[in-house]
Structure 1
Amino acid sequence: MLTSVFISVILGAICLLFAILYKQNTSIRISLGIIGVVLLFYGGYGYGSMNPIAHIETFDTGNKLQVKYPVTDVQVISPVDGDVVKCRILSMGVYPETHDKDIWVLLKPSDNKYYPQSDYTNTSYKESGKWQVVTRFGGDQGESYDLVVYETNTTASQFFSETISKWKAANDYEGLTAEELPSGAIEIDRVQVTLESNCRGIH
């Protein structure tokens, strides 16, 4: 498929080039020009259908704590405790350079269930002592949330990843009870935030 797309683009360009340079017959020039344009459109459409432009998710950031170095523990630096947040934010934090476990953010709204948050990599992104993950809220304006940070072993990470995949497939984000949280997930930090606006049904 990709080969035929490139061939279409090349042939279309050649036809257009001949249409521009060929001076003998006007009808032939017009025909070549039309064929060239059609082939270029076909090639462009074919490439676009095989390589769709990724959806770019927008998000905000909350207030940020000043980091004290050297970092000795995994901690949240944004949002801060008591923040009023928008529907999508980037939760951020720091970790000691020697830290080798995965980091997960779970949201706990007023239904007292836990909702693991993930980017496309599922676990929070870690690099050079900093971590981050897009965090999506789905509650009512003024609703309070606990934003809870866990460090996890491989088994717990796999459980959260599979849970998110199952919820996405069913389009039903039912939440986890405290009893359902895996034993390999250890809470290491927690902040409470409040929703600035109604976030139901926007995700």
Structure 2
Amino acid sequence: MSTKIVIIVGIVFILIAILSSIKRSSSSRLVSTKIGIPAGIIGVLMMIYGSYSSDLVGYNSQMEQVSIGKKLKIDGPVNAVKVVSPIDKDSVDCRILTMGVYPESHQKDVWVIIRPTDDRYYPQSDHTNTSYKRDGEWQVVTRFGGDKGEVYDLIIYEADSTASSFFSSTIAEWKEEDVYPGLQLEEMPSGAKEVERLVIYTKKNCRGVF
């Protein structure tokens, strides 16, 4: 059962409990207290469960577990979008912060896409969707969900507004349906340009973590 359905059912049970507290003129109640009290307890428990299973709470609890991979030292001026962490051939945790730099004149959005062994493409985001950019640096939370030692391509894209909107709406649709099928190469928007690709390995079993 999805989180939204759990919350909706919880609200219904609470409404039943409220109705059980209302007396009609004949002193009889709209709903028997034998039904209302258990319904209220179940409703509150379902609301609590639904709240703690929501994206917001899950996001905050997982944020505490974000790790950072090995860092690349950048010398000299930055002339292009570049990954600083993780580095190529790095072994990483299930949830990491992918970080990089960009030149001062750079205007496009930066997207991190991972391609696991299923040969599909998964745009990565936190609640801002696009990578966070400020003062020449960018970062985005990146999640891996495969077996220990599984190989991933970690691909960095520059995206125009159309491509960025496509990635954002795709992620929103996946979250709504709670299904993450990935994108095939031919589904990738033309306004997204690959600028860097790394090979990354998971150093622990991440299957079923997210």
TM over 0.5: yes
**Counterpart amino acid of 1:94?**
V
Q: What's 2:207 paired with?
A: 200
**Counterpart amino acid of 2:135?**
S
Q: What's 2:15 paired with?
A: none
Residue 55 of structure 1 deviates from its aligned partner by 2.4
2:121 counterpart (114, 120, 126): 114
Distance in 1, matches of 2:82 and 2:119, equals: 22
The residue correspondences of 1:84-163 to structure 2 (distance < 5 A) are 84-163=91-170
1:164 counterpart (144, 163, 171): 171
Residue 119 of structure 1 deviates from its aligned partner by 1.2
Aligned: 1:82 with 2:89: yes
Q: What's 2:185 paired with?
A: 178
- TM-score, normalisation: structure 1: 0.73
Aligned to 1:167, the other structure's residue is in SS state: helix
Distance in 1, matches of 2:157 and 2:77, equals: 21
Deviations 1:117-157 (A, max 9, x none): 00110000000000000000011111000000000000000
2:60 counterpart (52, 55, 59): 55
Aligned to 2:60, the other structure's residue is in SS state: coil
**Counterpart amino acid of 1:93?**
G
Deviations 1:163-202 (A, max 9, x none): 0000001111000000000000000011101011111111
Question: Between Structure 1 and Structure 2, how many residues are aligned?
Answer: 153
**Counterpart amino acid of 1:184?**
G
Taking only aligned residues, the RMSD between alpha carbons, in angstroms, comes to 1.5
Runs of 4+ in 1 over 6 A off after TM superposition: none
Aligned to 1:107, the other structure's residue is in SS state: strand
Unaligned runs of 5+ in 1: 1-48
Aligned: 1:191 with 2:202: no
**Counterpart amino acid of 2:183?**
L
Distance in 2, matches of 1:55 and 1:65, equals: 28
**Counterpart amino acid of 2:71?**
K
Distance in 1, matches of 2:70 and 2:206, equals: 19
1:64 counterpart (54, 63, 71): 71
Unaligned runs of 5+ in 2: 1-50
Report sequence identity in percent: 56
Larger radius of gyration: 1
